[in-house]
Amino acid sequence: MPRERPPPCRRSSCVRRGRGGDGPESAFQILLPRRAPLNLAAGRLRQRSPPDHQDLVRLQPPVLQDRAPYALAQAGIPPETVDTVLLASMSHLEQSPPAAPRVAHRMGAVSAGAMDVGAACAGFGHALATADSLIRSGNSRHVVVVGSERMTDIVDPLDRGTAFLFGDGAGAVVVGPAAEPGIGPVVWGSEGDRHEAIAHSAPWNGRDTEAAVRPTLRMDGPAVFRWAVSTVPRTARAALDAAGVTTAELAAFIPHQANLRIVDGAASALRLPPHVVVARDVVHAGNTSAASVPLAMEELLARGAVPRGGLALLVGFGAGLSHAAQVVVMP
C-alpha cells in the first residue's frame, strides 16, 4: 500500500524532516560561508589541475583549515566539538588508511569520528544523508561533510571520453542542529548491473603482473547519458515528493555537474518555473565528481544568485551506477 504523502511544509518552516513520522524528528541546517571569495581559502580550487606533488589529502586540508572554521564560527562551534567528518571521494587512491581521519585532524577535529564515503559522483548526497541520520539518531551533533576530488590522478589525459570532462576541486559544509529543519529525506538508489558504464580500464591487482598498466577511468558516455536523463528527473521528483514541496517552491536546482547537456536536460524535464536558478558550474570547474554539488552550491551563494533560506533541490548521480537526491535550505 503506498505511503500517504506528507502535507506540504509551509515556506517558513523550511523542509520537512523524516519520512511521515518514521523515527524522531531532529531539525538541523547546513552552514556555509556566504559571499565567500572564489579562491582556495573559500574551499574552491580555481585550477583544474593542482601541482603533481599535491595528493588528495594535501589537497583538502587548506579547504578545511580556512573555510570550515569560518562556517563553524557562524554557528559558534569550535572545531574540537565536531563529532564526525565524512569525506566523499572516488579519487583517493589508498584503500587504507582512509583520508577522512587525516582531514579531521588537520582541521582541528582531533577526536572526531571520520570515514570515507565511496559513492562517486553521488557521494556528497550519500554523505549528507548519513550526516542526517547521525544527527537524527543522536550519535552526532555536528558533522562536517566534504566532497573532494583529484580526478587528474585517475583520468587518462589521452582518453577523449573523459579527459576533457573532469576537474579537481573540494567543497565542504557543516551540518548541525537548528530551530527549524533544513534538509529533506534522501531518495537514493543504485543499479549495480550497470557498473561497467563508469569503471577503471584495468583492475588494480593487475599491477602485480609483469605487463601491468596504471588503471584509469573509462566511461561509456552514451549509456551514461541515456541513464542520467531518465534517472535524474525521476529521482528529483521523488525527492520533492518526499520533502512535501513543489518545483514552484524551489529557489535552485543543483544537480551533479556531469555536463551541460545532462544539467539542462534534467532542468527541462522537470519543467522548472523561470525563477528557479539552475546551477551550471560545470562550465567553470568541469566535472568534479563528489565535489561538484557543494562547489555549485557555493558558486550560487557567492554571487548572490540564491536567497538565504531558499529551497534547493540537490541531485547526485554517477558511477555505480548510483544516485541520491534531497531538498535542503540554503544557508
Residue 274: pLDDT band (50, 70, 90) is very high
**What are the Cα distances from residue 17, in Å, to 132, 295, 315?**
9, 24, 18
Instruction: Write the single-letter amino acid at 89.
Output: S
Q: Is 219 helix (H, G, I), strand (E, B) or coil?
A: strand
Tell me what pLDDT residue 28 has. Answer: 45
Average pLDDT, the chain: 77
Fold classification of 16-177 (topology level): Peroxisomal Thiolase; Chain A, domain 1 (3.40.47)
Mean pLDDT of 297-308: 91
Is 53 a residue whose pLDDT tops 80? no
Architecture of domain 187-329 in this structure: 3-Layer(aba) Sandwich (3.40)
Mean pLDDT of 272-292: 94
Is 62 a residue whose pLDDT tops 90? no
Is 138 a residue whose pLDDT tops 80? yes
Mean pLDDT of 197-204: 69
Cβ neighbours, 10 Å, residue 229: 15
Tell me what pLDDT residue 155 has. Answer: 86
Mean pLDDT of 90-104: 86
Q: Please tell me which residue, 92 or 292, carries the higher pLDDT value.
A: 292
Tell me what pLDDT residue 216 has. Answer: 79
Query: Which of the residues are catalytic?
Result: 121, 256, 287
Least confident segment among 38-47, 82-91, 253-262, 297-306: 38-47
Q: What is the pLDDT of residues 139-168, one digit of tens each?
A: 999 999 989 888 888 888 888 878 788 888
Least Cα distance to 142 among 73, 60, 89 occurs for 73
Mean pLDDT of 70-87: 78
Instruction: Give the domain ranges of the chain.
Output: 16-177, 187-329
Q: Is 7 helix (H, G, I), strand (E, B) or coil?
A: coil
Q: Is 196 helix (H, G, I), strand (E, B) or coil?
A: helix
Q: Concatenate the DSSP letters of all residues of 114-179 into one string.
A: EEEE--GGGHHHHHHHHHHHHHHHTS-S-EEEEEEEEGGGTS-TT-TTTTTTB-EEEEEEEEEE-S
Tell me what pLDDT residue 15 has. Answer: 27
Tell me what pLDDT residue 214 has. Answer: 77
Tell me what pLDDT residue 72 has. Answer: 59
Mean pLDDT of 133-140: 90
Tell me what pLDDT residue 159 has. Answer: 82
Q: What is the pLDDT of residues 170-185, one digit of tens each?
A: 888 888 887 777 889 9
Residue 70: pLDDT band (50, 70, 90) is low
Cα dihedral 157, 39, 31, 321, rounded to 10, equals -10
Tell me what pLDDT residue 164 has. Answer: 80
> 16-177 and 187-329: same fold?
yes
Is 248 a residue whose pLDDT tops 90? yes
Is 123 a residue whose pLDDT tops 70? yes
Q: Please tell me which residue, 69 or 308, carries the higher pLDDT value.
A: 308
